[in-house]
Amino acid sequence: MKKKAKIIILTTITILWMVFIFSMSAKNATQSSSISGGFTYNILNTFFEQFRSIDKTTQNGIVEGLQFIVRKSAHFLAYAILGGLCFENLSILDKLSKKKTFFIALLISVLYAISDEIHQYFVPGRACQFRDVMIDSCGALFGIAVIIILKKIVNKIKIIYNNKNTNKLN
């Protein structure tokens, strides 16, 4: 795929991902709780047979207790994806050092996390929380690290593959 096409595609995916994050943050407290609660309930119901056999009140209590972890994990994951997308997007440009690419991708993700929390301040029942900015930032850092590691693995595989093909020709 040509470089320009890759940039357009990755930029579009990154922007769409940012819109998705924004849309999730625009949901009021009741809607947001319903989404995370429904997700938690479905996971428990699907993977834990014992969960299905307990009464609804106990099920609701368990779901409520796990919602915090689910919500914060969603923050982490959403920003891991954003960080990885930003890093990969900037990597294609080839105009920045790897160090600058890393810091700019992280900066974009952190600034977006801050703007997202400010946005939530104006959504009924939601709040602007420094803790969430930190979780989002750690997620972005993780996503960037995963992309860096995957790229190193792919490059090593390419080197091994190229060496095997070169040896076959000799």
pLDDT in tens, 84-117: 999 999 999 878 899 999 999 999 999 999 999 9
Q: What's the pTM value of the predicted model, to 2 decimals?
A: 0.89
Q: How far apart are CA 28 and CA 120, in angstroms?
A: 9
Task: Please report, in tens digits, the pLDDT of each residue of the chain (170 residues total).
Answer: 788 899 999 999 999 999 999 999 999 999 999 999 999 999 999 999 899 899 999 999 999 999 999 999 999 999 999 999 999 999 998 788 999 999 999 999 999 999 999 999 999 999 999 999 999 999 999 999 999 999 999 999 988 888 877 666 55
Mutual angle of helices 98-121 and 56-93, in 10-degree steps: 140
Instruction: Map residue 31 onto helix, strand or coil.
Output: helix
Q: Greatest CA span in the chain, whole angstroms? A: 72
CB atoms closer than 10 angstroms to residue 169: 5
Enumerate residues 6+ apart whose C-beta is below 8 A from 36. 67, 70, 71, 74
Token pair of 13 as six digits: 């995916």
Domain count, the chain: 1
Mutual angle of helices 56-93 and 130-169, in 10-degree steps: 60
Domain residues for 18?
A: 3-169
Q: How far apart are CA 112 and CA 119, in angstroms?
A: 10
